[in-house]
């Protein structure tokens, strides 16, 4: 519920760039989660879709973007720009989550 209120505040004072930055950060987290075999991958995928719905009109991303990415990841047609060391997965996922959290601003903390 708090997230919905915070996103609502972002929408009222935000811009498409801000909405896109939030979704783009979540998509990067999603990619890392997939490549690291994160058991929470599906939850993160669903969260990106929810965020897009909450930011409707304030992001250029759509649910189709996430669905297409999900399919591409499963079909192994998408790769990370930089290969990762599987031993670094927890730290990388944590950093990506912090990047997402930072975009919600100090009110989210």
14-18, 42-46, 78-82: which is most confident: 42-46
b/e sequence 18-32, b meaning 16+ C-beta within 10 Å:
bbbbbbbbbbbbbbb
**Measured distance CA(30)–CA(44) in Å, rounded:** 6
**Measured distance CA(83)–CA(26) in Å, rounded:** 19
Tens of pLDDT, residue by residue over 62-101, are 999 999 999 999 999 998 888 889 899 999 999 999 999 9
**Measured distance CA(35)–CA(73) in Å, rounded:** 8
pLDDT-derived band at 7, boundaries 50, 70, 90: low
**Measured distance CA(96)–CA(61) in Å, rounded:** 19
Average pLDDT value for the chain: 86
Strands (E), the chain: none
């Amino acid at each position: 519920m708090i997230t919905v209120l915070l996103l609502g505040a972002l929408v009222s004072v935000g811009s498409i760039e801000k909405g896109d930055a939030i979704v783009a950060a979540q998509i990067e987290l999603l990619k890392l989660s997939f490549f690291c075999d994160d058991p929470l991958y599906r939850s993160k995928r669903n969260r990106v879709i929810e965020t897009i719905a909450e930011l409707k009109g304030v992001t250029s991303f759509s649910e189709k973007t996430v669905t297409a990415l999900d399919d591409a990841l499963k079909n192994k047609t998408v790769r990370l720009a930089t290969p990762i060391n599987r031993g670094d997965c927890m730290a990388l996922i944590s950093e990506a989550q912090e990047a997402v959290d930072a975009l919600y601003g100090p009110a989210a903390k």
